[in-house]
Amino acid sequence: MSVSQAPSTLQRIFDYASRADPYPLYAELRKTPVDRQEDGTYAVSTYREIYALLHNPHISSDPVNLAHPGPVAAERIKHPAFINLDPPQHDRLRRIAMRHFGPPHNPSLVTGLQPKLTDIVTGLLDRIGDREQIDVVEDFAYPFPVTVICHLLGVPREDEPQFHTWVEAIVALLDFNPETGPPERLQEGLRAREEIREYLSGLAEKRRDRQAGDDLLSKLVNEDGPDGRMTHEQVVSTANLLLIAGHETTVNLITNGVLTLLRHPDVLARLRRDPAMIVRTVEELLRYEPPVQLIPWRAAYGDATVAGVTIPAGSQVTLVLAAGNRDPARFRDPDRFDPDRPDNQHFGFGSGVHLCFGAPLARLEAQIALNAFFHRIPDARLLADPPPYRQSAVLRGPRHLAVGRG
């Protein structure tokens, strides 16, 4: 066995041992804003440089532009959703989906959901009742966005246990390293991707004429706009993307929100006196504990120069959003949780053409959930700090968050 080198900062970030508090490692990483790794990939961790690359058309989201795509990317190339495509295909597919979700054609959809969201949250809190111990994840932060995305997309809520298993396996692929990761994790993830596609394909088939409803899936299957209609394959990829993204990120945002507020009782006390402060609080949360900590890969389409470093075409680039969010060159006193922060242009939803599609919904969900939670459970206290974390370094958040009362 050869003597292994000390792990790089980026490798230590991916290491599960640092999941509860990766922020000191992010600070370490920022000392080299554009950090070339042993394997020829690049990690970018400072705000200005991340911003520049997110807005640089030479940085591609399409894995075909990776010199060494690897087994996970290869599968994405076969069934790309718009998150893994560049303009103009990305723009067209995203526009078709956006027609049924937001402005300019559907500007009031998300705001119109407010009563529905409040009902769902109230129902979950009613079910919690006056139980002494709560798992914020299982009892609240997970079931809420899942119910919402099922409702929006038109996926039966009762299928959740089934697709949840698939989604877990798929998320485990996000930071899968073929060099070091267990091959069965790869196989399991790839199989799950196939199965969830088959499942969604079946749902889409049923929407064709016969069972068309008011949901997004029905509209994607049946409606024509100025950009025409998606192919069946594209509908499935889009539904897959929206189901997973709508499922796996907001849960972290809400759970991180409960955790962070309980760690900052002064802010929580102010929020309870002034619920309108929730808007700024959620923005700060998106900066302070972003649900998507890093974009694991983008591909340099042409040579891209940033901070004096030229990233050659074909290179894999990791954009460490959470490190940029704590960059002291951009945010004063960045490790302070401060909802009053001016000019809070965080990377909580990314930036550029791939800016989070569901951002307006995620914002509203988190605002409603956090205000309602602390209204109903004013004496909540943490039973374990830090809580146990989920495996993923990319979609980082607690696996459980045990909260008691009084």
Name the residues that contact other proteins, by CB under 8 A: 51-52, 55-58, 60, 62, 65, 86-88, 91, 301-303, 352-353
Within 153-202, strands assigned E span none
Q: Report, in Å, the least distance between residue 92 CB and other proteins.
A: 9
| Alpha-carbon 36 to chain mean position | 25
Lookup: tokens for 236: 């499935």
Q: Report, in Å, the least distance between residue 307 CB and other proteins.
A: 11
Instruction: Count other Cβ atoms within 10 Å, centred on residue 277.
Output: 16
First-to-final CA distance of the chain: 54
Nearer to other proteins, 92 or 376 (CB): 92
Cis peptide before 104, with omega less than 30 degrees from 0? yes
Nearer to other proteins, 70 or 302 (CB): 302
Cis peptide before 115, with omega less than 30 degrees from 0? no
| Cα 259 to Cα 282: distance, rounded to the nearest angstrom | 13
Nearer to other proteins, 59 or 170 (CB): 59
Residues in the chain: 406
Nearer to other proteins, 86 or 188 (CB): 86
Nearer to other proteins, 53 or 322 (CB): 53
Amino acid occupying residue 333? D
Write phi, then psi, for 259 (nearest 5 degrees): -60, -50
| Alpha-carbon 331 to chain mean position | 22
Pairing of strands 402-405, 42-44: unpaired
Nearer to other proteins, 90 or 247 (CB): 90
- Residue that the structure tokens 């970018």 belong to: 44
What 3-state class would DSSP assign to 190? helix
Q: Report, in Å, the least distance between residue 69 CB and other proteins.
A: 16
Q: Report, in Å, the least distance between residue 301 CB and other proteins.
A: 5
Nearest one of 251, 319, 317, 318 to 289, comparing CA atoms: 251
Q: Report, in Å, the least distance between residue 308 CB and other proteins.
A: 11
| Cα 144 to Cα 137: distance, rounded to the nearest angstrom | 10
Q: Report, in Å, the least distance between residue 62 CB and other proteins.
A: 7
Nearer to other proteins, 56 or 238 (CB): 56
Nearer to other proteins, 88 or 115 (CB): 88
Q: Do residues 141 and 255 lie in contact, with contact meaning Cβ atoms separated by under 8 Å? A: yes
Instruction: Count other Cβ atoms within 10 Å, centred on residue 302.
Output: 14
- Residue that the structure tokens 């997970």 belong to: 142
Q: Report, in Å, the least distance between residue 50 CB and other proteins.
A: 12
Q: Report, in Å, the least distance between residue 355 CB and other proteins.
A: 8
